[in-house]
Amino acid sequence: MQLIGSLVFTAFLFLWTFFYSIFFVIACSLLPFRRRFVLLRVWARVLLTALKWTCRLDYRIEGLENLPADNHIALWKHSSSWETIAMSLVFPRQVWVLKRELTWVPVVGWGIRQAHAIAIDRKSGHSAVGQVIAQGKERLAEGDWIIIFPEGTRMAAGQTRRYGVSGTLLAAETGKLLVPVAHNAGTFWPRRGLLKKPGTIRVVIGKPVAAAGRDPRQLNQEIQSWVEATVAQMQGPEVASSQMNSGTRGDNRRDA
């Protein structure tokens, strides 16, 4: 039954997103961005409700008291497609940093552009960091939160890679705070495969961190250590042990 529910939800996910994107693009021609974000939340809320009905997969948010006033920069753990849906319901009005290839997807890509996303070329190294900083300053000035997946790609449960520095550099240059977000969605909705496990996803919002005057890489390491330790605690001792044995996977690039 769980597999059937997962298949039903997956079909609904694609159909709902495709047809809602058409409506969203048309509506955006008449609405300012602050109103467009309300429509994005409708899209996400419908999907998470459908996920609960079909797969018995719910979620809860912890640490909402850590959200600072004004708009800042959030660094989310990236282990599933779930957080790409849920984050619009967790944080105030926001824009996302994502790979530019997503804007090339027919219909859906049009909607992503209308959402003011910061679309970067992840293969361009330093240039990608510059894109995030330049466009991020514009979005922050407009009053939007910036949502970044510092790992740059979805990681399997129990795994991570070196965090990119664009978020910390942007925070240092703008005086904004960094808000880390840990969750265990990858345990219930793996990055590969159709099966979604029943249960309750935990999302933990950490305390905001000031980046001014800090070394970006050292700050990234501190934030990553907190995120990964929090995720491991949610997932149990076997995952924590796996993370300690495998360490942080990464390369020598200066990722965005």
Q: Give the model's pLDDT for residue 108.
A: 85
The pairing of strands 199-205 and 177-183 is antiparallel
User: What confidence category does residue 255 fall into, taking pLDDT thresholds of 50, 70 and 90?
Assistant: low
Report whether pLDDT(4) > 60: yes
Report whether pLDDT(165) > 50: yes
Report whether pLDDT(246) > 70: no
Identify which has the larger pLDDT, 106 or 202: 202
What is the average per-residue pLDDT within 74-95?
96
Quote the mean pLDDT of the chain.
Answer: 89
Q: Residues 180-235: pLDDT tens digits? A: 999 999 999 998 888 999 999 999 999 999 998 899 989 999 999 999 999 999 87
| Residue 255 is assigned to a structural domain of this protein | no
| Residue 98 is assigned to a structural domain of this protein | yes
**CA neighbours within 13 Å on the CB side: how many for 34?**
2
Contact yes or no for 150/77 (Cβ under 8 A):
no
| Residue 251 is assigned to a structural domain of this protein | no
CA 197: distance to chain centroid? Answer: 20
| Residue 7 is assigned to a structural domain of this protein | yes
Number of domains in the chain: 1
| Residue 254 is assigned to a structural domain of this protein | no
| Residue 207 is assigned to a structural domain of this protein | yes
Report whether pLDDT(85) > 90: yes
Secondary structure of the chain in HEC code, one letter for each residue: CHHHHHHHHHHHHHHHHHHHHHHHHHHHCCCCHHHHHHHHHHHHHHHHHHHHHHHCEEEEEECHHHCCCCCCEEEECCCCCHHHHHHHHHCCCEEEEEEHHHHHCCCHHHHHHHCCCEEECHHHCHHHHHHHHHHHHHHHHCCCEEEECCCCCCCCCCCCECCCCHHHHHHHHHCCEEEEEEECHHHHCCCCCCCCCCEEEEEEECCCEECCCCCHHHHHHHHHHHHHHHHHHHHCHHHHHHHHHHCCECCCCCCC
Q: Which residues span the domain enclosing 58?
A: 2-246
User: What confidence category does residue 242 fall into, taking pLDDT thresholds of 50, 70 and 90?
Assistant: very low
User: What confidence category does residue 239 fall into, taking pLDDT thresholds of 50, 70 and 90?
Assistant: very low
pTM, full prediction = 0.88
| Residue 203 is assigned to a structural domain of this protein | yes
Contact yes or no for 95/145 (Cβ under 8 A):
yes
Contact yes or no for 78/154 (Cβ under 8 A):
yes
| Residue 132 is assigned to a structural domain of this protein | yes
> What is the domain-level CATH number for residue 17?
3.40.1130
Count of beta carbons in the 10 Å neighbourhood of residue 104: 11
Q: Give the model's pLDDT for residue 16.
A: 96
